[in-house]
Amino acid sequence: MASAAEQLASNLSFSTFSKAEELKKRIWFTLGALLVYRLGTYIPLPGINPDAFANAFQSQAGGILGLFNMFSGGAVSRMAIFALGIMPYISASIIVQLMTSVVPALEQLKKEGEQGRKMINQYTRYGTVLLGALQAYGIAVSMEAGQGIVGDPGWFFRISTVLTLLGGTMFLMWLGEQITSRGIGNGISLIIFAGIVAALPHALANTLELGRTGTLSTAIILVVIVVAVAAIAMIVFFERAQRRLLIQYPKRQVGNRMFQGDTSHLPLKLNTAGVIPAIFASSLLLLPATLAGFSGSSALPDWATAIVAALGHGQPLYMLLYGALIAFFAFFYTAIVFNPKDTADNLKKHGGFIPGIRPGERTAEHIDYVLTRITVLGAAYLIVVCILPEILIAQTGVPFYLGGTSLLIVVSVTLDTVAQIQGHLIATQYEGLIKKSKLRGGKRG
């Protein structure tokens, strides 16, 4: 039998949306905030020569700078005030999550409820400031080393660059929090989503232009479209897929009344790690090429040049390491964010149990066993989605801008946003039903 929420969701219609005034305000606020973000990606950093920087960026676009440029909505290629984007905040969040699993004090803080989460969020902000300052200083020093990029190099330029870029990151962090609280939710994810989607029309126009000039055949363009549609369908299916463990609660007596035991499900997502494995794997593999580009190929020994060449896009070693790193981070990050022992303890505390499994340690072992098996499928799915575009680029030379990582982010954020909007609509419809029932009760009285 469908739950009350599922029944309400099935009854949603356009009329429900037209009555949801609060939801409309949230959507308009979200669109306005994203517009402010997009405008900020076009405000250049003071003290640099844009043409000289654009020429220097083109030589490094295939490295980690290209990945950061994708996440920042093109702000890196223009060296705008939002060039750092939201990546320092994401990195700090991941580091704090990792530390909560190895530092007992943080682990205890995580279990203290709302107050503990506020403290952890505060530590994440401190980490964002530290990482952002280090990255901004590295960018300032790298630009000073370039030919004609900085008009007046020195400590004044470095300090102003750090303050400007760090201020841009902190503003984006605040903007994301505002979208989460006053908008439709998922503020940080929507900022990354907006940056990736903004470059999509230009990428599609370039692909069609290559087809018009004859550089790409019509058959190859059709293959690109089919692969993109198939990848999106696969992402939607696997991101929604979950393994539900049956949870039973025993009968309980309250006073003289006996309440029947209830049943529920413990959902385990097939891809618990999300897009983190793809981001980590891409960053690590692109780092050698980026460092080599900054130092110059003539300054590298022969063995280092050979390694950088073997780790280029489309090379067999790159594909092999990319898949292996995705699988490693899929298991590693899943183990960090999901603790079977804590889940088993919570079930035991509330009287729940898995049929046929003894509560406590055995339940934790069973959950870990199931989670490991489905993570194998999740890691395989991530590898296929991320490797397939790389193979397409290597074999056909297609400028396939929406690779595996960006496709995962775009589709996942879209699914989450639709779920958030549907949740607001259900809440609106539920409030309407309550008001109608109160009015009927008043008339009868």
Q: What is the DSSP string of 302-362?
A: HHHHHHHHHTSTT-HHHHHHHHHHHHHHHHHHHHHH--HHHHHHHHHHTT-B-TTS-TTHH
180, two tokens:
């989460």
259, containing H or E segment: strand 257-259
What are the pLDDT digits (tens) for 169-215? 999 999 999 998 898 888 888 888 888 888 777 777 877 787 788 77
Torsion of CA 59, 62, 64, 65, to 10 degrees: 50
| Distances, alpha carbon 399 to alpha carbons 134, 193, 233, 386, 389, in Å | 32, 20, 21, 15, 10
Same domain, 255 and 308: yes
Selection from 374, 340, 338, 403 nearest residue 238 by Cα: 374
Q: What residue type is 222 in one-letter code?
A: L
Q: Count of domains in the chain?
A: 2
Q: What is the pLDDT of residues 238-284, one digit of tens each?
A: 988 988 888 888 766 556 666 566 788 888 888 888 888 887 887 77
The answer as to whether 16 is a domain residue is no
Indicate whether 273 and 285 sit together in one domain. yes
**Higher per-residue pLDDT: 435 or 334:** 334
83 within 8 A of 165, measured Cβ to Cβ: yes
The answer on pLDDT for 129 being more than 90 is: yes
Which pLDDT score is estimated for 63? 55
Q: Is 183 helix (H, G, I), strand (E, B) or coil?
A: coil
Residue-level pLDDT at 143: 82
126 and 229 together in one domain: no
CA dist 145 and 167 (Å) reads: 23
Q: What is the CATH number of the domain that holds 391?
A: 1.10.3370.10
In the predicted structure, residue 4 carries a pLDDT above the cut 50: no
DSSP code string of 28-68: HHHHHHHHHHHHHTTSBPTTB-HHHHHHHHHHHTTSHHHHH
**64 and 177 fall within a common domain:** yes
Domain stop point among 198, 218, 236: 198
Same domain, 125 and 228: no
What does residue 235 show for φ and ψ, rounded to 5 degrees?
Answer: -65, -45
Asked if 155 and 249 sit in the same domain, the reply is no
* 208 & 276 share domain: yes
Asked if the structure places residue 429 within a domain, the reply is no
The number of helix segments (H) and strand segments (E) in the chain equals 19, 4
Q: What is the pLDDT of residue 212?
A: 81
Residue 425: inside a domain, yes or no? no
Examine residue 149 and state whether it is found in any structural domain, yes or no.
yes
Q: Which segment of 97-101, 175-179, 378-382 scores lowest on mean pLDDT? A: 97-101
Examine the fold and report which residue of 167, 198, 229 is the final residue of a domain before the chain moves on: 198
How much of the chain exceeds pLDDT 90, in percent? 14
> Which two three-digit tokens encode residue 34?
């994203």
The number of C-alpha atoms within 13 Å of 294 and in the hemisphere containing its C-beta is 15
pLDDT at 179: 92
Q: What's the Cα-to-Cα distance from 325 to each of 271, 277, 307, 332, rounded to whole Å?
A: 15, 7, 17, 10
Q: Average the pLDDT over each of 99-103, 149-153, 428-432 and give the range with the smallest value.
A: 428-432
Would you place residue 1 in the very low, low, confident or very high pLDDT band (cuts 50, 70, 90)? very low
Same domain for 63 and 116? yes
Tokens of 170: 């902190």
134-156 mean pLDDT: 83
Q: What is the mean pLDDT of residues 287-302?
A: 59
Instruction: For residues 248 and 175, state if they share a domain.
Output: no
Does residue 244 share a domain with residue 187?
no
What is the C-alpha to C-alpha distance for residues 109 and 111, in angstroms, rounded to an integer? 5
Q: What pLDDT sits at residue 137?
A: 87
Query: How far is it, in rounded angstroms, from Cα 190 to Cα 113?
Result: 26
Instruction: Identify whether residues 183 and 209 lie together within a single domain.
Output: no
Residue 405 lies in a domain: no
Torsions phi, psi for 253 (to 5 deg): -110, 125
Which residues, other chains included, contact 194 with Cβ-Cβ below 8 Å and sequence gap of 6+?
34, 37, 38, 73
d(CA 336, CA 358): 25
| Domain final residue, candidates 163, 198, 233 | 198
Asked if the model's pLDDT at residue 16 lies above 70, the reply is no
pLDDT of residue 2: 43
**Residues whose CB is less than 8 angstroms from the CB of residue 356 and which lie 6 or more positions away in sequence, other chains included:** none
The runs of H, that is alpha helices, within 103-154 are: 104-110, 114-145
Contact 265, 246 (CB under 8 A): yes
Mean pLDDT of all residues in 407-422? 85
**318 falls within a domain:** yes
420 in any annotated domain = no
Q: What Rg do the C-alpha atoms of the chain give, in angstroms?
A: 25
Residue 136 binned pLDDT confidence (cut-offs 50, 70, 90): confident
If asked whether residues 305 and 266 sit together in one domain, one would say yes
pLDDT of 237 > 60? The answer is yes
Distance CA 91, CA 71 (A): 13
How remote is the C-alpha of 83 from its chain's centroid? 18
**Domain span holding position 32:** 21-198
pTM: 0.78
Within a domain: residue 436? no
Q: Tell me which residue has tokens 């009015």.
A: 439
